[in-house]
Structure 1
């Protein structure tokens, strides 16, 4: 189990959780997580909304700087 950062409240949440136990926000089930800070990324983000780390994309526009659960 890895801990990721809830995009709603910043609480550390299990990467297996569907909802944050602190604020109740639904965790992004696509599983894209910033490799720098562990924040759950929204589907179309070009950079992490928490730390600003860029989400790089390959020639097919597929994100490459992510960790998939």
Structure 2
């Protein structure tokens, strides 16, 4: 699995962090997503896909 983030689209809603805190975080100054692990283990796939689905800006792309 590979994750790509479009920081320009991110609105700082934080839904990704709620869904997969092991993979996503937010910058303190503006809330923009921070990708902690661009290639997380396969067992986190469901959480990562949930995070991508929850993102109101569709800023997360997941490649299997």
TM over 0.5: no
**More helix by proportion, 1 or 2?**
2
Q: TM-score, normalised by structure 1?
A: 0.22
Higher-Rg structure is: 1
| Structure with bigger RCO (C-alpha 8 Å, 6+ apart) | 2
Please identify which structure carries the higher strand content: 2
> Normalised by the size of structure 2, how large is the TM-score?
0.23
